[in-house]
Structure 1
């Protein structure tokens, strides 16, 4: 079985971005992100209703770090590291199978600038080179065409399509599963 140590937290950099550890100071930005109807449209979970919800999410992120089950980075511009634009990370690490699930979200004012593509590429690189995962998966609402395009640009391929496998707000929803294998040496 693969073993990982997620602390100390690995800060990542790209040409335009700093991917840093999330802190309690990010709670207002997390609330903004998780309460925006445009961001939450395809996440198929209830939006945050206040700072306690944002702080609870940050607590779950810290707990996953502590037990080596997942890590999420705060995405910020390199020149403004305190101004959180979104999150990107790997969670549900399945160390027995060297696999993790990726997830990401970005404030709408940062959409269409290639920022999440840049962040996701670096997170995938770290997951393969730093954590030595063999594969990454993404569970996507099939109606989220922008997310699917992002994944496909990164080299993810659709592995599965589950019909009505997720129950949310009184209806059954479909899920598409995309995956990316570690590059061969």
Structure 2
């Protein structure tokens, strides 16, 4: 089983971004992510429209990090404090060397390659630092942009669940994509030495 530690916080850097720890100052953007109808169109979750709910969510994310159950990064351009988006590892399964990745970007920063940079950094961190074997992403099959991003980074569709979720009286489909650590993609199933 892997011994996953997120303390100290694992700051990651890309060509244009710093993937940093979220702070209370990020609450208004977290509020947007958890309440904007357009942002949530592919995420079956009830809206959480208040700033207090955003602060509660930030506390939950910090508790998950402290407990080494997940980590969420805020995406900021180098030298700028503003939050462009978030990316996380969660649903960790240390016994199986596996985690799920999730992400979101403010609409005004889409189609500029920011999430691609962030995802590449998180994939590298997951496989080299955490020594995970695989990453998973669950996606609304209608979310073409997210699927394109995942496929660009080597994720392949492994499952399609029809009417997996019931949300607000509707049954929704889900697609599961996964990516194996590079040495695994060649077909070897042996664990690398510790």
Q: Distance in 2 between matches of 1:36 and 1:110?
A: 16
Query: Residue in 2 aligned with 1:133?
Result: 132
* C-alpha separation in 2, matches of 1:76 and 1:38: 22
Aligned position for 1:181: 180
Alignment partners' CA distance in 2, 1:29 and 1:172 = 29
Give the superposition deviation at 1:32: 2.1
Unaligned runs of 5+ in 1: none
Q: Which runs of 4+ in 1 moved over 4 A?
A: none
Alignment length (residue pairs): 184
Alignment partner, residue 40 of structure 1: 40
- Secondary structure class of the residue paired with 1:41: helix
| Distance in 1 of aligned mates of 2:154 and 2:23 | 31
In the TM superposition, what is the alpha-carbon distance from 1:6 to its structure 2 partner?
0.8
Q: TM-score with structure 2 length normalisation?
A: 0.92
Structure 2 unaligned segments of length 5 or more: list them: 185-194
**Residue aligning to 1:76:** 76
Alpha-carbon distance in 1 for matches of 2:47, 2:18: 26
Structure index of larger Rg: 2
Deviations 1:8-54 (A, max 9, x none): 00101000001000111110111123222221110111222111111
Deviations 1:128-176 (A, max 9, x none): 1111110000000111111000000011000000111111111111110
Structure 2 residue 113 is the aligned partner of structure 1 residue 114: yes
Q: Say whether residues 1:168 and 2:167 are aligned partners.
A: yes
> What residue in structure 1 maps to residue 19 of structure 2?
19
**Offset from partner CA, 1:98-123 (integer Å, 9 cap, x none):** 00000000000000101000001101
CA RMSD of aligned residues (A): 1.0
Q: Which residue does the alignment assign to 1:147?
A: 146
Q: How does 1:96-115 map to 2 (within 5 A)?
A: 96-115=95-114
The whole-number CA distance in structure 2 between the counterparts of 1:67 and 1:159 is 30
